Structure 1
Amino acid sequence: MKGEFHSPNLDHEFFPGYVCHEPAGAESYHCSTGDHVNLFFSQFADGIFAIDRLMFVRILMTILLVLFFIFAMRKPQIVPKGLQNVGELCIDFVRIHIAEEILGKKEARRFMPVIATIFFLVLVGNLPSVIPMLNVSPNARVGMPLTLAILSYVVFIYAGAKKHGFFRFMKASVVIPGLPILLYPLVIVIEFFSTFVLRPVTLTIRLMANMLAGHLILVLLFAATNFFVWQLNAWTVLGGFTLVAATAFTLFELLVIFLQAYIFALLSAVYIELSLHADEH
């Protein structure tokens, strides 16, 4: 039983439009801009609509999400069934277990659209990592995690500024009352950095790093199976072990996919709640 082994290569996924070559005898790769490399629609309208595969997957999953809710809620009934029942269960999960749990019913109704949008966009962006033929999460690249983190950032600042006034909110967020006066310069810097810098940064890195790490592990496990089967022997025991490990990690990745969406939406709700009660710092 013979075949061909292909070593894993992420260049075309994470560096679209670039071609990397390793000249003979060279110690490092030389990367240069490629002409219409790894891009869709690059020949149309002089390439202004060109997108890479990760962006294509992101757009595809977003369209599927929108279509799901359109079909689920197009003819709502008092007693839901079919897709409407699934859609309402998904929305109720976000409403009850994230928004109302953190913000209470009154504020949950107000901020539910943002929290639900974040949850479902993260969820459908994570799912392609275990979908055959897609095999990668668009959230493994920084763009979408950063965009959603900025959305969360803007909303929690808006929530605090709307309730307390911008300058009073900023003061309440960084000034801890009752401290010795000599500590204020240090504490204000720490609180500002923690509240207005670390929050969006950690939201972004947590999501991106988890999905990228999961993708890399799955790539390595399935590539190892491919190598052991095609290069060593079709009946190699190692190939069986790596295949079982890859299957088990795929199931674990399903849990990570959900948890990352839940944690991102939950922390966004927590930050909004902290802004609403900044005066109780």
Structure 2
Amino acid sequence: MIALALPAAPAEGGFKAPGLEDMHLPDILPWGAEYGTGFGKQMLLVILSVILISWFFMAASRRRQIVPGKLQFLGEMSYNFVRNSVGKDIIGEKDFKPFVPLLVSLFFFILLNNLFAVVPMLQMPTPSHVGTAYALAGIVYLYWIYLGFKKHGIKYFKLAVVPSGVPKAILPLIVVIEIISNFFVRPLTHSLRLFATMLSGHLIVMLAAAGTSYMLVEGGAFLKGLGVLTFVGGVGMGIFEVLIMVLQAYVFVLLTAIYIQGSLVEEH
């Protein structure tokens, strides 16, 4: 996993640390070059993830049996994990069912796109492109606001920014803080938490791979020994990154459920 993350560092000029240009490759079909847009590896992996997730759940549910087979069992277990531990527990037994498809889709979409980082030859978490994280958080942001106005009407704005039990003397300050927190900071932190974690984690693994390659190929006996230690540390970081990938998918969906639940309740 680590050895494939980067090619060997160049022999001339010493060690060169990896950067964003090593992880975010040039576009396959470039357009709008002045804005850095185009169809690239990141978009290709997003499409691949949709195909794989759709295939998995359709295959798991195609031949449903009372005693499930391995694929059906895995599909049901995966679905029920999000349904019960996120949807039911956070939103509540009364209201959670309409939101399960969204929560399940978000969780497995983010999870698979994160895990692409450790798949040989693919090796890129698509949320390391900030546009992916912004798009996901933007969908959730618009959706929970829509739900709030659908359930409460214009009264929702008051419910969202005026906490109950606040003394009138400090209420204007609290309202300003709540507006900034709920409608500006919340979507930014929702997206940037996922983006920054995926970007930094993968760069650390890439740095360990590049350093290992350079020390083993170009270094003397001492550097070769350090290269072995760097390789071991890189493998450990790769395993740790997998855990973070799963955790970040769960946290993103957990926060989504919290925001939805907040849109439905009568008081904050």
Q: Is the 8 A contact 1:13 1:52 kept in 2?
A: no
In the alignment of these two chains, the number of paired residues is: 250
1:105 aligns with 2:93: yes
Q: Aligned in 2, Cα 1:280/1:50: closer, same or farther, shift over 3 Å?
A: closer
1:230 aligned partner: 217
1:33 aligned partner: none
Q: Is the 8 A contact 1:61 1:125 kept in 2?
A: yes
What is the deviation of 1:172?
1.1
What is the deviation of 1:105?
2.2
Q: Is the 8 A contact 2:90 2:257 kept in 1?
A: yes
**Which segments of 5 or more consecutive residues in structure 2 lack a partner in the other structure?**
1-6, 11-15, 32-36
1:175 aligns with 2:162: yes
Q: Aligned in 2, Cα 1:5/1:12: closer, same or farther, shift over 3 Å?
A: closer
Q: Is the 8 A contact 1:152 1:268 kept in 2?
A: yes
1:11 aligns with 2:34: no
Paired residue type of 1:5? A
1:216 aligns with 2:216: no
1:256 aligns with 2:266: no
For 1:42 and 1:150, how far apart are their aligned partners in 2?
25
1:245 aligns with 2:233: yes
1:117 aligns with 2:105: yes
Flag the structure with more relative contact order, 1 or 2, with Cα contacts below 8 A and sequence separation at least 6.
2
Q: Is the 8 A contact 2:8 2:210 kept in 1?
A: no
2:116 maps to which of 121, 128, 144:
128
1:194 aligned partner: 181
Q: Is the 8 A contact 2:30 2:40 kept in 1?
A: no
1:80 maps to which of 44, 68, 79:
68
What is the deviation of 1:268?
0.5
Q: Aligned in 2, Cα 1:203/1:170: closer, same or farther, shift over 3 Å?
A: same
Paired residue type of 1:211? M
For 2:241 and 2:167, how far apart are their aligned partners in 1?
48
Higher deviation after alignment, 206-215 or 130-139: 130-139
What is the deviation of 1:66?
1.4
1:55 aligns with 2:59: no
RMSD: 2.2
TM-score normalised by structure 2 residue count: 0.86
Q: Is the 8 A contact 1:146 1:204 kept in 2?
A: yes
For 2:220 and 2:213, how far apart are their aligned partners in 1?
10
Q: Secondary structure at the match of 1:105?
A: coil
1:157 aligned partner: 145
1:68 aligns with 2:56: yes
Q: Secondary structure at the match of 2:93?
A: helix
Q: Is the 8 A contact 1:122 1:261 kept in 2?
A: yes
1:19 aligned partner: none
Q: Secondary structure at the match of 1:136?
A: coil
Paired residue type of 1:187? I
TM-score normalised by structure 1 residue count: 0.82
Q: Secondary structure at the match of 2:92?
A: helix
1:95 aligns with 2:56: no
Q: Secondary structure at the match of 2:170?
A: helix
Q: Is the 8 A contact 1:62 1:124 kept in 2?
A: no
Q: Is the 8 A contact 1:13 1:54 kept in 2?
A: no
For 1:68 and 1:231, how far apart are their aligned partners in 2?
45
Q: Secondary structure at the match of 1:107?
A: coil
